[in-house]
Amino acid sequence: MTTTSDASRAAHIPFLDLVAQHRDLEEALVDAFRRALRTARFVNGPEVTAFESEFAAYLGASGCVGVSSGTDALRFALAALGVRPGDEVVTTPHTFIATTEAVSQVGGVLRFVDIDPDTMTIDPRAVEAAVTRKTVGILPVHLYGHPADLDPLLAVAKKRGLWVLEDACQAHGARYRGRAVGSLGDLAAFSFYPGKNLGACGDAGAVTAGRAELLDAVRRLREHGQAQKYFHETEGYTGRLDAIQAAFLRVKLPLLEGWIEGRRRGAAWYRQALGDLADVELPKEAAWARHVYHLYVVRAERRDALQAHLEKAGISTGLHYPMPLHLQKAYAHLGFGRGSFPHTERTSDRLLSLPMFPELTESDVGRVADSVRSFYR
Ligand SMILES: *Cc1c(COP(=O)(O)O)cnc(C)c1O
């Protein structure tokens, strides 16, 4: 991910501008650091518990446990849901590898299904057919900030006795039928990696719950399996949310809604500027969704050449993700090839993430749009 400073801002449009975000917050972040320093409560303590309740309240979730990353959030959630070696988990190959690493690392077996090309998230119609006697749960990913279609997934889960774990690492504040993701499944995982819509100044994550009783197990796992100091119910991990990161996140959380509005404004400008262009398919927002545009992912003809053209014009873009998981070397043992998941493959061949961050201006979007149009002329 590229970040930039004032000086190069005029000429270059970054993919993401974290420097701009932190410029206005510097005093508040330094104050937060000072507060943590002066209490010397670096592990657990008041900053962590305050952030946990503030984030749960923001989502309308029944609880939140801070952990050290989004990947740990997924891992601890899967363990808390009781995944055992050989248990099957249904998810999609169109995601970041952390989703599937977590499944494998608790001994689970991946059952991939294709995406719905409209939302680029798991296709609920494909899920029930993938459920076997060994399946224990469904792991939808709210990719790019657009929620997966949860109601049909929750219905299959109910009918077949499965849990639903939401990978909400890209979807802070996204809504499904008016309710925040992260409060709708049994558990959900969030990442506060710096580039996420709500980002710490380092690694951080959280597990949130629809069902709060599952959070006790997550709380134990992040701290060596202990419910009480030095009394261990199971083995666990060092996987806590760092207190300094919690203090930083408390500064940023009240600003998240405004940032989401900035991203949605950027998306609306892109739609105005590029909506009529036949060579580029813009991201859709389902009628039941509030998209938070963590990434603004278009699908374009001659994608690689378009990306090079934009780079030459000083416009940074990204590919999320250039190779679907079922075709990665890491998953060769699953035995999939090209053609296994056609919608996923067609999407990864054409996708391109355009610059997207809350401070994006209308003239930035205009420049990106002009450059895209000049490529297809
Ligand atoms: C970022 C991300 C994760 C992992 O989060 P980390 O905090 O980097 O461990 C998991 N799933 C998805 C979809 C992500 O985008």
Summarised one tens digit per residue, pLDDT across range 243-254 is 999 999 999 999
Q: 197 in ligand 1 pocket by Cβ < 6 Å? A: no
Average pLDDT score over residue span 106-129: 97
Mutate to test the pocket of ligand 1, among 96, 187, 240 (most ligand atoms within 8 A of CB): 96
Residue 285 reports pLDDT greater than 60: yes
Task: Give the pLDDT score at 153.
Answer: 98
Q: Does residue 69 line the site of ligand 1, with CB under 6 A? A: yes
Q: Give me the domains of the chain, ranges plus CATH numbers.
A: 24-113+120-254 (3.40.640.10), 256-376 (3.90.1150.10)
* Sequence-ordered strand ranges (E) for the chain: 64-67, 88-91, 109-112, 115-116, 121-122, 135-138, 163-167, 175-176, 179-180, 187-191, 205-209, 226-228, 231-232, 280-281, 289-290, 296-300, 351-354
Q: How many A from CA of 165 to the centre of ligand 1?
A: 14
Query: Closest Cα to atom 7, ligand 1: which residue?
Result: 70
Structure tokens at 78: 């899967």
Residue nearest to atom 12 of ligand 1 (CA): 169
pLDDT for position 10: 56
Give the full edge-to-edge strand order of the sheet including 289-290: 179-180, 175-176, 289-290
How many whole angstroms from 349 Cα to the centroid of ligand 1? 22
Q: Are 46 and 197 in contact (CB under 8 A)?
A: no
**Non-local CB neighbours of 152 within 8 Å, separated by 6+ positions:** 124, 125, 127
- Is 4 a residue whose pLDDT tops 90? no
Of the pLDDT bands very low, low, confident and very high (cuts 50, 70, 90), residue 7 is very low
Q: Is 344 in the pocket of ligand 1 (CB under 6 A)?
A: no
CB of 98 within 6 A of ligand 1: the answer is yes
Ligand 1 contacts CB of residue 92 (under 6 A): no
The whole-number average pLDDT for the span 83-94 is 98
Q: What pLDDT score was predicted for residue 1?
A: 44
Confidence of residue 278 (pLDDT cuts 50, 70, 90): very high
> Closest residue (by CA) to atom 6 of ligand 1?
70
For residue 99 and ligand 1, the question of a CB distance below 6 A is answered with yes
Atom index in ligand 1 nearest the CA of residue 196 equals: 1
141 Cβ closer than 6 Å to some ligand 1 atom: yes
- Each residue of 181-228: pLDDT tens digit? 999 999 999 999 999 999 999 999 999 998 889 999 999 999 999 999
DSSP bridge partners of 228: 231
Mean of the per-residue pLDDT values of the chain: 96
Ligand 1 atom closest to the CA of 205, numbered from 1: 7
Distance 12 CA to ligand 1 centre (A): 27
pTM of the predicted model, to two decimals? 0.96
Q: From the CA of 299, how far away is ligand 1's center (Å)? A: 22
Tokens 């043992």 appear where? Answer: 333
To which H or E segment does residue 139 belong? none
Name the residue of 92, 142, 172, 191 to mutate for ligand 1: max ligand atoms within 8 A of Cβ: 191
Expressed in angstroms and rounded, the spacing between residue 303 Cα and the centre of ligand 1 is 25
Tell me what percent of the residues of the chain surpass a pLDDT of 70: 97
Confidence check: pLDDT of 339 > 80: yes
Q: 45-68 pLDDT, tens per residue?
A: 999 999 999 999 999 999 999 999
Report the nearest atom of ligand 1 relative to the CA of 294: 15
Name the phi and psi angles at 153, rounded to 5: -70, -45
pLDDT at 6: 47
